[in-house]
Chain A
Amino acid sequence: MITLTHYIVLSAILFTLGVVGVLIRRNAIIIFMCIELMLNAVNLSFVAFAHYLNSMQGQLFVFFTMTVAAAEAAVGLAIIVAVFRNKETVNIDDINIMKW
């Protein structure tokens, strides 16, 4: 019998891996992929709660989250391409023009 706790712990592990990836990687595209992983982990817990609480709202929220993620990926990757065109790199240590 799979319980809700199984899914929430799996979702927590995936979310934690995404956070660690954002913190230790220096490539902007891979940081972006780790953000997608975190979104996926949260979606999994949404659907798990929806299933175990006999509700439909979780699945609808996942639907909207996916739309927002698609929009975010399009705009974010366009920004990364624009940055690469200006600086010839996507290493976030070199993209510090707005830092100081």
Chain B
Amino acid sequence: MEIYLFYIVATISVVTAAYLIFERSPVYNALYLIQTMVCIAVLYILLEAQFIAAVQMIVYAGAIMVLFLFVIMLLNLNIKEETKGALLFQKIPAIFMGIALFVTICVILKSKLLPGKHGEYTTAYVNSIGNTRVIGNLLFTDYLLPFEITSILLFVAAIGAIMLAKRKL
């Protein structure tokens, strides 16, 4: 049952990601990317990562993509502008190199380097406590310093965005 859901969602995400690359209109690009992110959120739920799935929906598909749509509509882009002066002979080598990259990743995958050390957080253990609670516990104990640094990073990013958006620096 789950495998069918996986295949359906994976197909939708790959097709929408391909549309993201080959579609001309920037607004449609943003909507296709939102679709891809929703598909990835479904995969997170299949992987028993409920908190990450919720954050994916709220932060990525909600906040970041709305920011993209705001900027696209603010700039009022001309669609035809992009084709003008495009580098010749770039598309085919780019797609070829992309396939080469994919083959390289698959070759690394086939070598038996991947399996690592198993941890203590089994699915049954995490579900007995609650996914969000386990993540919260870890964030405020073992990962407290990275968490605080993250808050400073967001603060600096907000100040930087305001400075860049000012008309006269």
Contacts and interface: CB of A to CB of B under 8 A. Distances in A.
Interface of A: 1-2, 4-10, 12-21, 23-27, 29-30, 32-34, 36-37, 40, 43-44, 47-51, 53-57, 59-60, 62-64, 66-75, 77-82, 84, 89-91, 93-94
A40 B40 contact: yes
Interface of B: 2-3, 6, 10, 13-14, 17-18, 20-21, 26, 29-30, 33, 36-37, 40, 43-44, 46-49, 51-52, 55-56, 59-60, 63-64, 67-68, 71-72, 74-75, 77, 81-82, 84-87, 90-91, 94-95, 97-99, 101-102, 105-106, 109, 114, 116-123, 126, 134-135, 138-139, 143, 146, 150, 153-154, 156-158, 160-161, 164-165
A23 B59 CA distance: 27
30 contacts: A2-B3, A10-B43, A12-B106, A15-B101, A17-B17, A24-B94, A26-B86, A27-B26, A30-B26, A33-B68, A36-B64, A37-B17, A47-B47, A50-B47, A53-B117, A62-B49, A63-B52, A63-B135, A63-B139, A66-B56, A70-B59, A70-B63, A70-B64, A75-B160, A78-B160, A80-B71, A81-B71, A82-B164, A84-B75, A91-B82
A16 to B, nearest CB: 4
B49 A47 contact: yes
B26 A29 contact: yes
Contacts of B135: 56, 59-60, 63
Contacts of B109: 5, 8-9, 12
Contacts of A64: 146, 150
A7 B47 contact: yes
Given A51-B49, A56-B119, A66 B102 contact: no
When A and B form their complex, which 4 residue pairs have the shortest distance between CB atoms, in order from nearest? A71-B157, A55-B119, A23-B94, A78-B164
Contact of A67 (B84, B116, B153): B153
A15 B40 CA distance: 13
Contacts of B14: 10, 13-14, 17
A90 B75 contact: yes
